[in-house]
Structure 1
Amino acid sequence: MNISTAQQALKHFFGYDRFRPMQEDIIMNVLAKKDTVVLMPTGGGKSICYQIPAIISQGTAIVISPLIALMKDQVESLKANGVNAAYLNSTQSYVEQREIEEEFRTERLKLLYVSPEKLLAPAFLDFMCRMNISFIAIDEAHCISQWGHDFRPEYTQLTSLRQRLPHISFVALTATADKATRNDIASQLSMNDPKMFISSFDRPNLSLRVEAGQKRIEKIIQFLRERPNQSGIVYCLSRKNTESLANKLRNAGYNATYYHAGMPTHERSRVQEAFIKDDTPIICATIAFGMGIDKPNVRWVIHYNLPKNMEGYYQEIGRAGRDGLPSDTLLFYTFADVMQLREMVSDSGQHQLQLSKLERMQQYAETRTCRRRILLSYFGETLEKDCGNCDVCRNPPELFDGTVIAQKAMSAVIRVKREMNKSLSAGMLIDILRGSRRIDLVNAGYDRIRTYGAGNDISYDHWQLYLQQMLNLGLIEIAYDHHNTFRVTKTGEQVLMGKFPVNFAKLSQFKSTPSTKAPTKKISAKEQLATDLFEELRVLRKNIADKENIPPYVVFNDATLKDMAEKMPVSVMDMMEISGVGETKLKKYGNQFIGAIVSFIVRKSKAGFKIKGSTSLLTYELYKKGLSIHEIAQQRKLQDQSIYNHLANLYEMGYTIDIFQYITGEQLEAVADAVRNLGPNTGVKAIFDYFNGELPYISIYFGLAHTKRMLQATIKS
């Protein structure tokens, strides 16, 4: 099996002309029946790495997935592309499962998705081992490793598969796994000298942004206002927050709802289905939401609270922009989140490891250097230069001398400790500096220390941000073992003694800017047309999806619609050149989308817009009304010959034109003979001369169009 067969399958079923980086090498390794470990980021194209080998191999590929939603999603998409696929899990009836097993037995399936529980049921395992299996793919393979961030005990039973199927090759795929996890995956599955493919973790289409957690609701509403009709997820730490935030967004006029593990199963399924089908574009959710959702047109992900670790953060932001189009991420960061998370992980297993991971997450949020560099370095990858697509790169911080501000804060901490033998929390420290008269502060005697009120010219929010920078600079630290109170470090003591200055970032970088997007550039008329057409195609896609009861992206994803909107295909041949349009979808949906594009072009052309190819379409509209050539020419203020030329071009593109009004069968054959003698690229003038001017130009137009149309049909078949 060579790579050209795989490339043909890629074009035929998925409508793509070429593989992404590394996919080709992985596919060849799988086709060679070798054990394979694939580490590829969310949205990087992992599925293609096993779907293409499954399609072109003998037998059925077994795909093990822990996620019922993902199974259903993938199978729907494969079927829409003309691939025979099915899934088996606990949600199906006995009759449904028997029907699918019969398809499996008779080798009518190229891929069968199975949950670990179903696979390891003794009866099914015995049955499966007797079938013709091409290979076994284990998705979300990090679940099998105790070092993985989402370890699942039921996955460890998969180790028995190698004993039952020693001759079958395994493919393990995951989006997040460090070196220890990767090696453990191979060990747990008893892989034979597996080849490891580690793709870049970089998702350059994702914009990274962190903002201070004050006024989150206002910032989120502003963020949404700038992104109308976009789909996204807001991740919250608590169930209560998901519900209250969804209510606030609904009150602000947005179609939003919530999702968390405390909801009934049927309600969670309903919410997830509504999100997948673009009926509810905004979901406020705990991290229980998103696993297994292959929705490629999630345009943004917001973290209302700081995530527990970089793995979780990376996986969650990875749900945005899986189609490769530009997408946004926004993370809100506060001390309160850090305190809450520290308490949570302190009570969990491996708490020292979890605390360490939380600190790395905190460092990412507080950094004043390129965020993508920090994110990638966590996964062992080095970015040679700043990314240019994060808030720090777009708005490098302007520094100022904050030595006096820092000294005031540290002086208050030390004086309270020295004079009163007490420690301060962040809130109390700020209130002392601002000269608050709160009763507990006065009763404790904090109003009598020398630094009381020393920072009353600085707002509470600004003090929070200065303290955050002091933590990041290592001037103060939080005594987690003593009610999360502050203490001054040795570095801080040196600053207090005036041994070196402190530079703070100006607070303008922390404030909510008028836009959370990159500065808007002036949009050209062509770009505006593409935007308008995209919206019309999006509505058409939704209508088709609703009628077929499938997610809109199963019809075509956003990247494909964007390609259509930019290239404006008006024929079947043009549509075949659009990325993501395979043959099955071309037959099923091609004419509807071509019709919508033609209608758009005609309408915009009449409104005065100049669009390439529109003149022929305007002619065709009049031709369909039954007007003669001369009548069309008069109405369009063109020569008759131009109208003949338009109709010939339209006929060549596949439009219904009765050419025998303008050319006889004998003349058609004569032009075909001339092309055979003169060559396929022969022009109108050469054929006119070939017949010594005895064959009219009109006949040559239609004769050439017919010859080219027949040639295209031959190539296609």
Structure 2
Amino acid sequence: MTSATQNGAAPTDHTQRLLPVLQEYWGYDSFRPLQAEAMGCVLSGRDSVVVLPTGGGKSLCFQAPALAMEGLAVVVSPLISLMKDQVDALTAGGASAAFVNSTLSADERRDVAERVRSGEVKLLYAAPERLLAARTLEFLQSVNVSLFAIDEAHCISSWGHDFRPEYRGLRTLKERFPGVGIHAYTATASEQVRQDIAQQLGLQDPEFLVGSFDRPNLLYRVRHSQNRFGEVCDLVNARKGDSGIVYCISRKEVDATAAALRELGVRAAPYHAGLSDSDRQRNQDRFLKEEIDVVVATVAFGMGIDKSNVRYVIHAGMPKSLEAYQQESGRAGRDGLDSECTLLYQPRDAMTWRRLMASSGENHDGALAALAGMEAYASGVVCRHRALVGYFGQDLGKDNCGACDICLAEVDLIDDPLVTAQKIVSCVARLEERFGGDYTAKVLAGSREQRIVDQGHDRLSTHGLLEADGVKVIRGWIDQLMGQGYLEKAGEFGTLAITATGWSLLKGEASPRLARPAVKKAARRAASGGAELSPVDQGLFEALRALRMQFARERGAPPYVIFGDAALQDMARQRPGSLEAFAEVKGVGQKKLDDFGDAFVEAIVAYCSEQGLPVEVEGSAPAADAEGSPRRAGEPSASAPGVSASALAAFKHFRERSSMEEVAKQMNRARSTVAGYLGEFLRHEQVTDPSPWVDPETARRVEAAIEEVGLKGLRPIYEQLGEEVDYESIKVVATCIANRQHS
């Protein structure tokens, strides 16, 4: 068995075969980390285990090769909703895909079978139970199967966080299809889980490809919550209109939280195993179609969610493992845009999980160790990104992630943590390790509650040692010391006990870290970093969202299947005014160009005309100047400050007094695009005479309208003219008048 990591693997030799497929069906012209290597394994027929974080593009690792190969790719998927979403997305992009599951009628299943026999279907999705049925296996042996892709492959391992016994039967695929490559994909898997996946599937000399577990576009925060219910409402209310997921531990909390959010006017719905199948499916569909903004759920929700524009995830309760937290929080920002993940933590969360694990028989060593790791993360005061990737055996590679509450200084590390920690641990010792965290905090704060006085603990030397800090802060420090392994809970009643490292701390042989909430929060930086891009026009973005929703409703598909938020932002940034320019938007493949290009370009041109904005903005991505030095996106060249390169090429034609129609023909550009270039020419050259481009009578009418309503916007002028003069002519005249006023 061999392995590769994101930083160490060389590109495959198959890129030239795959890049045209990526461009045609997805509108991408490059690979994300490890995608080329993973796709190369598929094309060469070598078994593989691929671990890429949520949003890392792991589905493409088998979808693109499937379209480049002869035969049928079979994809094992655990949930009906996940199958449907992926098939919808593939179909929208022009690929031939289908699924077989219990939602299909007998006639529909026969139709799928005929399409598979004829070679029309390139990707077939099925649940493990249906795939392993004798009739299904016999049918697949009668057709040309190119590959098997096992999605959510961590489900096959009992060491994983979502073990599903039905996945264990997939080992038979290697026996029934000995010459076909089998490829396992998951977003979270430790080394132990990865090896178990390979063993359980019977893979032969598999390639292990493990991407970085870091999600730099996610902002992680942990709050030691006092009023979790109210804090959830505040957090959601602050993000009204954004798509979000709120996770709760119990069904009761889910129902109460969803109801409270609805009372606040938030479009929210619950999701948990206590609801009927139809209610769960309806609420999930409403979320995917953006008929509601927030799903409040237990951990039963999410594996089947392929929604790319979830902007925040809130955990109103600690998950039971960092694997689960990585997967659940990773449902935010799958499109690569900045998103937030907030964990509202209380010490009793771990006790709740231990009780649930005991009742379900999950309290084995592996599960308890995973819970301890999650508890350490929640109560820790180290960089959240570093802690997460460190748990999976990776190094962040930098000291400050710039995208968590610790690195953004939203919590204050106290100056002398060792002395404070020694006072706390010393108090636990003087209380003979017989009391819990709340009681210990009160003693340290100097409380004179009756029970403390009755026990004589008001006479301890540690009584009131931290009086100035208050019970709430001290209680948080106790949790942090437990998370760092200096204290632990013991016995039936969860009393505090001192660990071996805690006794070392009392001798001064330790380096604890303690934090208190910062009084003033640091400003949030763009988590994804990178070069500054041309600004996104928010009004245009919202207009494109509305158009996307219109298409989604017509097709009965989730909006992100039409275009993701990242694609819409790129449109709003570049403002393409022609199909040629629209094809350059990231995420626009040939099928989407054919299906949606005209409508989106028309909407963009109309918006830009109304707002007086140029189309086809240059510099939407980092560029270099003529000498090769990096230039910020949108930064003008030295030759014409504020003017795009394409507009400069048009200037010579406008100086010759060529019409917009003539320039459009000479440059092979849309008239609307050339109108934008003309606007730049008029401003740059300070032209005051519109006559070469607007006939004198129309120009006089526009000037008269401007005298009446002023130059505050184009629409009032348009309406003053009875909507009889086009926006382009109005803009030309208005620009010339503005130039006169500034000359």
TM-score by structure 2 length? Answer: 0.77
Asked whether the 8 Å contact 2:376–2:482 carries over to 1, the reply is: no
* CA gap 1:544/1:7 in 2 versus in 1, 3 angstroms: same
> 1:171-570 residue pairs with structure 2 within 5 A?
171-347=183-359, 348-386=361-399, 387-395=401-409, 397-401=412-416, 406=421, 409-410=424-425, 412-417=427-432, 423-434=434-445, 457-472=468-483, 474-479=485-490, 481-489=491-499, 505-509=514-518, 517-518=524-525, 530-570=537-577
Q: Distance in 1 between matches of 2:363 and 2:499?
A: 27
Partner Cα distance (1:92, 1:132) in 2: 23
The Cα shift of 1:441 comes to 5.7
In 1, Cα distance between the equivalents of 2:505 and 2:208?
Answer: 49
Native 8 Å contact 1:26 1:49 kept in 2? yes
CA contact (8 A) 1:258 1:285 kept: yes
Classify 1:351/1:239 alpha carbon distance in 2 versus 1 (closer, same or farther; 3 Å): same
- C-alpha deviation, 1:494, in angstroms: 7.0
Does the 8 Å contact 1:84/1:110 carry over to 2?
A: yes
Alpha-carbon offset, residue 440 of structure 1:
5.8
- Is the 8 Å Cα contact of residues 575 and 586 (structure 1) preserved in structure 2? yes
Question: Letter of the aligned partner of 1:552 in structure 2?
Answer: P
Q: Tell me the CA shift for residue 110 of structure 1.
A: 0.6
- Sort the Cα spacing of 1:120 and 1:469 in 2 relative to 1 into closer, same or farther, 3 A: closer
Structure 1 residue matching 2:407: 3-state secondary structure: helix
Question: Which segment is superposed worse, 529-538 or 276-285?
Answer: 529-538
In structure 1, the residue matched to 2:171 is: 159
Aligned counterparts of 2:322 and 2:453: Cα–Cα separation in 1: 42
SS in 2 for 1:113: strand
The alignment of Structure 1 onto Structure 2 pairs a total of residues equal to 621
**Deviation at residue 252 of structure 1 after TM alignment:** 2.5
Q: Shift of the alpha carbon at 1:552?
A: 0.3
How far the C-alpha of 1:227 sits from its partner, in A, is 3.3
Asked if the contact 1:65/1:113 (under 8 Å) is kept, the reply is yes
Write the distance in 2 (CA, Å) between the matches of 1:403 and 1:51: 54
- The offset of 1:403, in angstroms, is 6.5
2:3 corresponding residue in structure 1:
none
Q: 1:469: how far off? A: 3.2
Shift of the 504–567 alpha-carbon distance from structure 1 to 2, 3 Å rule, reads same
1:613 & 1:142 partners in 2: Cα distance? 44
Distance 1:225 1:349 in 2: 36
Q: Deviations over 1:513-547 (max 9, x none)?
A: 56884499xxxx99665222212211111121112
Output the CA distance in 2 between the equivalents of 1:184 and 1:582: 38
Deviation larger for 160-169 or 395-404: 395-404
Worse-superposed segment, 53-62 or 30-39: 30-39
Matched letter for residue 596 of structure 1: A
CA deviations on 1:64-112 (whole Å, 9 max, x unpaired) are 1111111000000000001111000122211111111111111110111
The CA deviation string for residues 353-379 of structure 1, in whole angstroms up to 9 with x for no partner, is: 222111111222233222212211211
Change (3 A) 1:50 1:492: closer
Distance of 2:188 and 2:511 partners within structure 1? 38
Structure-2 change in CA distance of 1:101 and 1:337 (3 Å): same
The alpha-carbon deviation at position 468 of structure 1 amounts to: 2.1
**Cα distance 1:410–1:5, how it changes in 2: closer, same or farther (>3 A)?**
closer
Which of 654, 663, 675 aligns to 1:648? It is 663
Q: Give the match's secondary structure for 1:209.
A: strand
Aligned equivalents of 1:612, 1:58: Cα separation in 2: 39
**Structure-2 separation of matches of 1:269 and 1:71:** 13
CA distance in structure 2 between the aligned counterparts of 1:163 and 1:406, rounded to whole angstroms: 59
Alpha carbons of structure 1 residues 160 and 504: separation in structure 2 relative to 1, 3 Å:
closer
Work out whether residues 536 and 569 of structure 2, in 8 Å CA contact, stay in contact via their aligned partners in 1.
no
Cα distance in structure 2, aligned partners of 1:54 and 1:416: 66
- Counterpart in the other structure of 1:35: 47
Whole-Å Cα distance in 1 between the matches of residues 57 and 533 of structure 2?
Answer: 31
Per-residue deviation, residues 107-150 of structure 1 (Å, max 9, x unmatched): 11011101111111212221121112111111112222233322
Residue type of the alignment partner of 1:381: Q
The answer to whether residue 587 in structure 2 is matched with residue 580 in structure 1 is yes
Structure 2 counterpart of 1:588, one-letter code: D
CA offsets 1:622-671 (integer angstroms, 9 cap, x no match): xxxxxxxxxxxxxxxx98964614553278556489xxxxxxxxxxxxxx
| Residues 1:107 and 2:114 are matched in the alignment | no
Q: SS state of the match for residue 253, structure 2?
A: helix
Letter in 2 for 1:530: D
Secondary structure at the aligned position of 1:18 is classed as coil
Question: What is the identity, as a one-letter code, of the residue corresponding to 1:352?
Answer: D
* TM superposition shift of 1:561: 0.7
Task: Give 1:183 shift.
Answer: 2.4
Name the SS for the 1:257 alignment partner: strand
Partner of 1:672: none
Q: Distance in 2 between matches of 1:366 and 1:567?
A: 44
- Identify the residue that residue 92 of structure 2 maps to in structure 1: 80
SS in structure 1 of the partner of residue 406 of structure 2: helix
Paired residue type of 1:483:
F
State the TM-score, normalized to the length of structure 1.
Answer: 0.80
Alignment of 1:1-150 (within 5 A): 2-150=14-162
For the 8 Å contact 1:346–1:355, the answer to whether it is kept is: no
Asked if structure 2 preserves the Cα contact closer than 8 Å seen for 1:406 and 1:502, the reply is no
Cα 1:13–1:612 shift into 2, 3 Å = closer
Q: 1:654 to 1:450 in 2, by over 3 A?
A: closer
| C-alpha separation in 1, matches of 2:665 and 2:236 | 43
CA gap 1:404/1:167 in 2 versus in 1, 3 angstroms: closer
Distance in 2 (alpha carbons) for counterparts of 1:264 and 1:546: 25
Unpaired runs of at least 5, structure 1? 615-637, 658-696, 699-717
* Superimposed CA distance per residue, residues 592-639 of structure 1 (whole angstroms, 9 cap, x where no aligned partner): 11111111111111xxx677779xxxxxxxxxxxxxxxxxxxxxxx98
Task: Report the CA distance between 1:162 and its aligned residue.
Answer: 2.0
CA distance in 2, matches of 1:407, 1:215: 29
Alpha-carbon contact 1:75-1:86 (below 8 Å) kept? yes
**Residue 409 of structure 1, CA deviation:** 4.4
Quick check: which has more Rg, 1 or 2?
A: 1
Task: Measure, in 1, the Cα distance between the counterparts of 2:548 and 2:100.
Answer: 29
- Note if contact 1:159-1:189 (Cα within 8 Å) is conserved in structure 2: yes
State the Cα distance separating 1:565 from its structure 2 match.
0.8
Measured after TM superposition, the shift of residue 237 of structure 1 is 0.9
Q: 1:226/1:18 Cα in 2 relative to 1: closer, same or farther (>3 Å)?
A: same
- Contact persistence 2:414–2:515 (CA under 8 A): yes
Alignment RMSD (CA, Å): 3.1
Where does the alignment leave 5 or more consecutive residues of structure 2 unmatched? 1-12, 619-652, 673-691, 694-743
Q: Distance in 2 between matches of 1:137 and 1:500?
A: 51
Specify the SS of the correspondent of 2:537: helix
Taking only the aligned residue pairs, the percentage that are identical comes to: 40
